[in-house]
Structure 1
């Protein structure tokens, strides 16, 4: 069974979006404890913390996105950004790399890990 890959930027954005929904669900969970002010307040604050964490993650990926290398995908010919040694096209999920030693090899996200970089250079 083939793995479903997506670009790293999209993965992080999806995580940040899920934090927003988790925050709303936790806040709505606090409504069930209206009689107990302390428990309701704890649920509301936990939901707020999830939403604040989402804002931080969105800011972080925005800053990271400005450092990403922008390339034109050879498959769909749309501009996309690459983070790390290997990444996927945001539009068509074509495996992309800027590392000439990885061209033609099977796509694997492990190429972005530090320990795999050291092994390949030896």
Structure 2
């Protein structure tokens, strides 16, 4: 099965959205423990922590998004943001790079890592 790639900013935003739903599910799980207020309080507190962590993630990706490089996708002609050396278009999932050494090569997220093995690939 082929590995699907997506834009890094969208991945992080999806993670933060999932945290919101998980937080609500945890808080609603506390309803099953109405008889024990301590356990119910623990569930509600854990759910609130997940919601607060989601808020922090949204804030951090917003700050990171302001520093991302905006380019026009050659495929769909829409402006998209790139984080790292390689990324995908937010709209049409076209592989994009700002590194001229990587142009024409197959897309690999490992090009963003600063290890010696990815440097040897290039």
Does the alignment reach a TM-score above 0.5?
Answer: yes
Q: Report what 1:68 is aligned to.
A: 68
Paired residue secondary structure (1:80): strand
Q: Tell me how large the CA RMSD over aligned residues is.
A: 1.6
Secondary structure, counterpart of 2:53 in structure 1: helix
Alpha carbons 1:111, 1:117 under 8 Å: kept: no
Distance 1:57 1:120 in 2: 33
Q: Which residue of 1 aligns with 2:23?
A: 23
1:13–1:118 CA distance, 2 compared to 1 (3 A): same
Cα distance, 1:3 vs structure 2: 1.4
Q: Determine the C-alpha separation between the residues in 1 that align with 2:5 and 2:119.
A: 24
In the TM superposition, residue 116 of structure 1 has moved relative to its aligned partner by 4.7
Which residue in 1 is equivalent to 2:43? Answer: 43
Instruction: State the TM-score, normalized to the length of structure 1.
Output: 0.95
- Count of residues paired in the alignment: 122
- For the Cα contact (< 8 Å) 1:110–1:116, is it kept in 2? no
Off by >2 Å, runs of 4+ in structure 1:
116-122
- What is the correspondence of 1:9-20 to structure 2 with a 5 Å cutoff? 9-20=9-20
Q: Which runs of 5+ in 1 are unaligned?
A: none
